[in-house]
Amino acid sequence: MPPSHPEDDIGPIERARERLYEPVIDLHTRSPLATPDKRELQHAWKEEPFQSAHKGKRRVRFAGIFFVIAFLFFLASLGIAGYVFYVGGNSVSVDKVVVDIQGPTTIAGGDIVPLSLSITNKNASAIENATIEIDFPNGTRNATNVLQTYPRYIENLGALASGASVTRSVKAVLFGGAGQAITLPVSISYGTTGSNATFVKKSSYTLTISTTPVSVSVDTLAETVSGQPLTLTLTVRSNATIPLDNVVLTGAFPFGFTVTSSSLPLNNSSFLLGTLSPGAHSTITLTGTLTGQDSEQRVFHFTVGTAKTAQDQTLAIMYMTQDATVTITAPFINTALAINGDVSPTVIITPSSHQNVSLSYANTLSTSITNATVAVTISGAAVDYNSVQTTNGFYRSADHTVVFSQDTDPALAMLVPGASGVGSFTFLTLPLNAFTSAPAITFTISVSGTRVGQANVPEQINASATKTAKVGTSVILSASSLHTSGPLSTSGPIPPRVGQTTTYTIVWDTFDEGSAIAGATVSATLPSYISYTGLTTGTGSFSYDAGSHTVTWNIGDIAQGASAQGAFQVSLTPSTSQKNSAPPLTSTASFSGYDRFAGVQVSATADPVTTETKGDPGYVSSFRNVQ
């Protein structure tokens, strides 16, 4: 057993501590790997003298000192912030300007509203140039003079020291509809010493109108068809405890509304109701037509108040405004009328002829229509009313109306959404000489029924539309040839002879059976063997185009029921090939003009004329053939 040494009693941790505080550190040189044979392995613990450990002075780190200084600075900042927050300084906050508003929360329209405002400065420093402002709604009046408008209250309070308070009383006369909530914006603006900034403290006060001295209500439909009559029932009621003089109701009508009648005189969209006793009411019925596009909304505005005098109906005090919104919708039952298959707005028909009329209808609503009735009333001087016939309708001759209903068509008892049908009838037009007025026929279409399942819309549906048919004028054109008579002198043998020249007078006659005609002309071409002599007479003027051999008679305008005549001269030198024949002198004559009433072109024709001069006295058939 090896001998013990004092170092054996020292642990490894203690030996590491001694080595850490040794004043001189013995660095052992590592033996080179190349001389392993010089190392000696010890077989026993080496005895070394014990050396006492001497500790050096401990060093204080810089990071610790910095941490201590930062912590002290944080404590100081926290203390200063707390002092400013709890104790206060020279800063000003809008939250410390307190506005307290006292007043009624429910008022009667037209009453004086008293408001008490208290403004307190809870800032540690004074505020300067403090100004209070209250904005009132339109129509507010001064409490001391109700004829004077009072749009806002403004007052400069000057400077308010720290902790100071000021109180102001404000009175105003407010108006509005029953149940209307009115919010009054309140603001305080101020500045501080040494600053150009302006601070604003905003607040508000809300009150409700319980009743008004005079109220107006509007009762009308929520929907209407464009162009159909619309009725508005206006009721003005006095809620005051004393009589009200010079009560006036004014209306602002939307675009497209035309007044047709009213139960009271309407003066520049105003109704003068006069004096209303306590609890009394006045009802006005206003009827008009509203036009517009499908789904458009139009708003009616009605304002009731009192005027200064009965002569001047301008509102001096407005008590209440009531609006009514009306939506324009498509016709409830859509109809389309076709005359002889023509569905255009204006149809041109001929006199003395059969006319076929078909009427299609369809339910355009999203709900069903019961007891639907479609009627067509016929009016006009050109109709033979005894000729009206219908297969699936009923002709009511008393008022010239063709009615399609559930009595004639069971499908009309209930028209479901999208359901449709067709009715038809026929009639005859009279000849043009049977009437003297403008030959027009008007078809007035009326639909009615009961609307199912919707509120505030017309339960009874009534709509109408019109369609016009114009009877076009008729012109009679005749052409003839003359030799021994007529307006122009002629020469040559009759009957005509081969190689000898004979002149003839061509006469054109026109008669306008109906409406006036503008720009009337008649034209025809001459055969190559016919010469135009240039002699003419009659209404208007003649012209001749040698290249096309065309003779044109420019008549001009023809009055209603008037006639015109024109004549020109031609010459014929027959050839042997024409012997024993009656050569044509002109081609077919054509008339053209513009019907001023119907707005269409008018045409007519006349047969070609030959050497057959039937209009001459003593004419015999042998005079026509070339000899």
Q: How confident is the model at residue 29 (pLDDT cuts 50, 70, 90)?
A: very low
Q: Which residues of 93-103 are buried (b: 16+ CB within 10 A; e: fewer)?
A: eeebbebebeb
C-alpha to C-alpha distance for 9 and 598, rounded to whole angstroms: 141
User: Is the per-residue pLDDT at 485 higher than 50?
Assistant: yes
Look up residue 266 and give its two tokens: 């309407």
User: Is the per-residue pLDDT at 54 higher than 60?
Assistant: no
Q: Tell me yes or no: is domain 214-329 CATH 3.40.220.10.
A: no
Q: Which CATH architecture has domain 94-211?
A: Sandwich (2.60)
Q: Are strands 346-349 and 460-471 parallel, antiparallel or unpaired?
A: parallel
Kindly report, residue by residue over 505-541, the tens digit of the pLDDT: 999 999 998 888 999 999 999 999 999 999 999 999 9
Task: Examine domains 333-471 and 475-623 and report if their fold is the same.
Answer: yes
Region for residue 85 given its phi and psi (left: phi exceeds 0; alpha: psi -120 to 50; beta: otherwise): alpha
- pLDDT at position 12 is 65
Q: Tell me yes or no: is domain 333-471 CATH 2.40.50.140.
A: no
- pLDDT at position 6 is 52
Contacts of 621 (CB under 8 A, 6+ apart): 612
**Are 266 and 333 spatial neighbours (Cβ–Cβ below 8 Å)?**
no
Give domain limits for the chain: 59-88, 94-211, 214-329, 333-471, 475-623
Residue with tokens 């140039």: 129
Kindly report, residue by residue over 241-265, the tens digit of the pLDDT: 778 888 999 999 999 999 999 999 9
- pLDDT at position 369 is 86
Print the SS3 string covering 78-126. Answer: HHHHHHHHHCCCCCCCHHHEEEEEECCCEEECCCEEEEEEEEEECCCCC
What value does the mean pLDDT of the chain take?
85
In this structure, of 77-91, 152-166, 262-276, 390-404, the range with the lowest mean pLDDT score is 77-91
C-alpha to C-alpha distance for 38 and 322, rounded to whole angstroms: 122
Q: Tell me yes or no: is domain 475-623 CATH 2.60.40.740.
A: yes
**Are 179 and 215 spatial neighbours (Cβ–Cβ below 8 Å)?**
no
C-alpha to C-alpha distance for 475 and 563, rounded to whole angstroms: 9
- Of 41 and 484, the one with more pLDDT: 484
User: Is the per-residue pLDDT at 545 higher than 70?
Assistant: yes
For range 557-573, the mean pLDDT: 94
**Are 343 and 336 spatial neighbours (Cβ–Cβ below 8 Å)?**
yes
